[in-house]
Amino acid sequence: FVESMGLEKEINGTEPTKKEEGLEDPEEDDDEDEEEEGEGDPAEGGTSKKKKRKKRKKRKKKKGGGVALGPVKEPTLKPPSRGLKETAFTDYFVQYGQTDPPTLPVEQLFRGKEFPKGEEQPHALESQLYRQTSEEVRAMDRLQVDLYSKIRHASEVHRQVRSYAQSFIKPGIKLADMCQRLENKNRELVVEHGLDRGIGFPTGCSLNHVAAHYTPNPGDDTVLQHDDVMKVDFGVQIEGRIVDCAWTVCFNPRYDPLLEAVREATDMGIRTAGIDVRLSDIGEAIQEVMESYEVELDGKTYPVKAIRNLNGHSIGPYQIHAGKSVPIVKGGCETSIKMEEGEIYAIETFGSTGRGYVVEDMECSHYMKNFDAPHVPLRMQSSKKLLAHINKTFGTLAFCRRWLEREDGGSATINGTNGRQQKYMGALKNLCDVGIVQPYPPLCDVKGCYTAQYEHTIIMRPMCKEVVSRGDDY
């Protein structure tokens, strides 16, 4: 209907020519026929006019057409889990014309428009407040518009994927199925294209005392229970620019203070961050907020402790850990290390009802080729083959064993349906032993305790800091 109105308006806005007479009102047909008799065969003239009219209509319709977006609606569906804000909706994306469930690539929803900005905050130090009004700084900020667009694109994909995931993460779901659905939707909305765009790292779904780096290996049939506390951590990358963002899922209200403590601590870390801010000061602020909470479980009160050997981190192109660590406790790093303009950080905090210290335990599922991997001559042919697959499919991005056993081996764009790796464990161990690949086993506190995590990606823009992954949910 809209396209028809647009076409009619355009034609009626100009005087009709002989080529357009076929579009005149039916009442004028008799006069036109009389005029045409003196010029030639009416039948031939009518035929040519009909052909021209059809071509014009087709051309106009094609010009006015585009991506078939869904109706723009207000989100209404609430997530079944706890740990999110009251403004969280599992159909968040319908406000942009996205389908429910989401199926349209995010880039199509915003074609010809800017991707949504994240939350903009001023840099924390008073000495940096001039940046908000400085024309020189504003000009420097505009120079990075392409970079910001890529990161905002990845962030919007993350928001839509996690909103969709929040609709089906319920007690009784198998974690392997949950990860597969989430990751497939991630690939679909970002339009996976090998190393150019895709998943940033494997979906973490660490339960209870396991704080990080757990995802189901093939054959793992773990099922989410009502009394579990699960950390969902996944990433999106576009041209190597990774958005790293996580939240905690629970269904029992007794864990609410734990989740609130960690969410508030993460927000405090973000507020404290800024250009020239000392990373140690951020850790001190995070710990102060988090450890002001306590949790009552089975009649016993537990103080919430910041997990002192887990940190946030800087992010570089195709490098999830780019060198700087953001501590979450006082004295967690040297006081001389500061945030700098242009850097990208993942501000993440972990709280625990246990000892507040994690160790590597359980079967490893996460792996990543070292960013500065040494050149080592490999003797095993299977190791050479696996390394070649890792290089072309993942590069220096993290991967997991589930992906190696997919038909596409982790990327349908690169491998088609011939990417599945067979009998690769010996080769993978060899690559780890020689230092080319780094294993990342699950990080666990004491058994019986509960841990929570919240995380956002922020950019140290010249004018301000932008929490690009911020959403209505957390």
Asked if 220 is an active-site residue, the reply is no
- Phi/psi class of residue 100: alpha, beta or left (left: φ > 0; alpha: ψ in -120 to 50)? beta
Q: The tokens of 55 are what? A: 């071509």
Non-local (6+) Cβ contacts of 210 within 8 A are: 362, 442, 443, 444, 445, 451
Catalytic residue among 348, 408, 445, 466: 348
CA 342 centroid distance within chain: 20
Asked if 123 is an active-site residue, the reply is no
Catalytic residue among 183, 192, 228, 233: 233
Asked if 313 is an active-site residue, the reply is yes
Non-local (6+) Cβ contacts of 220 within 8 A are: 175, 176
Instruction: Please give the Cα distance from 2 to 240 (Å, whole number).
Output: 40
Buried b (16+ CB within 10 A) or exposed e, 237-261: bbbbbbbbbbbbbbbeeebebbbbb
Helix or strand holding residue 135 (H, E): helix 135-142
Asked if 135 is an active-site residue, the reply is no
Asked if 233 is an active-site residue, the reply is yes
Catalytic residue among 220, 321, 341, 405: 321
Q: How many CA atoms lie within 13 A of 241 on its CB side?
A: 22
Catalytic residue among 36, 156, 192, 244: 244
Buried b (16+ CB within 10 A) or exposed e, 70-93: beeeebeeebebbbbeeebbbbbb
Partners of 207 in the β-ladder:
230
Catalytic residue among 156, 183, 455, 466: 455
Number of Cβ within 10 Å of residue 191's Cβ equals 16
Helix (H, G, I), strand (E, B) or coil at 260: helix
Instruction: Please give the Cα distance from 77 to 69 (Å, whole number).
Output: 20
Catalytic residue among 158, 313, 366, 389: 313
Helix pair 2-12, 42-64: axis angle to 10 deg:
120
Asked if 244 is an active-site residue, the reply is yes
Q: The tokens of 52 are what? A: 């021209």
Instruction: Please give the Cα distance from 442 to 218 (Å, whole number).
Output: 16
Partners of 198 in the β-ladder:
237
Instruction: Please give the Cα distance from 424 to 404 (Å, whole number).
Output: 9
* Residue positions annotated with a catalytic role: 233, 244, 313, 321, 348, 455
